[in-house]
Structure 1
């Protein structure tokens, strides 16, 4: 056991991009790499006053923005879209420029998981989106809400990823079939829970905020157990700034001796 010290210079954006990047495809195999990004209070709460952003800080927002730099798709639950907004471009102008210069799309699409299609096609999420969003839902929801599905299809690609319910295996397979290797998921807790229960999470970025939120707030992972839980994770990196801890963990199936996780 060792102390986490504050010696050495701070990391600039280039160093953080390298520190946050998904492993190369040749190191992980041909399938997708599912990265889940979350923030929690010191007592395990996922939100403060109903929003994850209430737990954050400028450093956390900087890291969240930079962590999207290599995303092929940003996967988000509909509840998170409604609570947090997600209007307009999610990447900085610098990251958008770098992606375009590398020959890829400047902006990754946002894929929204919604079991009920409870989304407003006139909201700024759709009208200000730099690229056409994707909506992932069930065939049952499409059959139950044909008018809403048609209205959303005018603004987004609407995809069935399950019969009665959204199936996480089909979600990830569909994203991969559409060209996404790095699936960057930002929650919410139910989506995180379904991916984890199915054994689909390869990497977790967890920010621990120095705050006690109290018992009313929910946890970062909710839902039902599944064959993927419990899952052991390997700590591969620790960053800290202004009292906040930023942990990067890989699923044990990707475990390796690796370097010292402290910067």
Structure 2
């Protein structure tokens, strides 16, 4: 019966403030009833106000973490978050190719809520050329999708075009998050699946600054659901519903962009087809 419990892996940076990164990933995965392991590739000094400093892990330490996890656990799905720089991205790509860690969700974290850059400019090309072809799902927000495609995205038509461009880079499934389109009363994300099916998932926009870690939480929830055997569309719809609940049922932590409420509960019946 060893390794019968569903296990997931987050490959990302820490958040000392607890709201994003590895901390948000583990909280989300735990809440969705899977066991979460972690490969820490960077450490940040961070809170709800901003990122004060960060340091990438040496390649040897990244490799040893991958080896430790793969040598003992049965990872059924994994995700990447903050990857810091070229050397880190390359180390992660190398190890993702080396070990079977299940379907991969790539959250291309580039800029923190407070404005700090979490992925160096030169690493964007490495993500585009080396990491994206390994991804089963890519979850960029609008600025990240613009960086990866080299195009401006301001309309829904431009979101659909960008998703197709991202798929052409080798990604199987894409969800472009529309949360940065603040002019709308709804937050609408565009999904393009490997099958060619596309659809929008929308939720009411909530007027709050307590949205720190939304991208990490969405990608972690989807990863957990995939690990449990859900199909991609269902996993994405559950992820969207869960994130909405974490924002709607807010908690009061910190003085800036506060974290989500990862205790939020949703039922499978709430997820619409």
Computing the radius of gyration from Cα coordinates, the structure with the larger value is: 1
TM over 0.5: no
Tell me the TM-score normalized by structure 1. 0.39
Higher share in helix: 2
Tell me the TM-score normalised to structure 2 length: 0.38
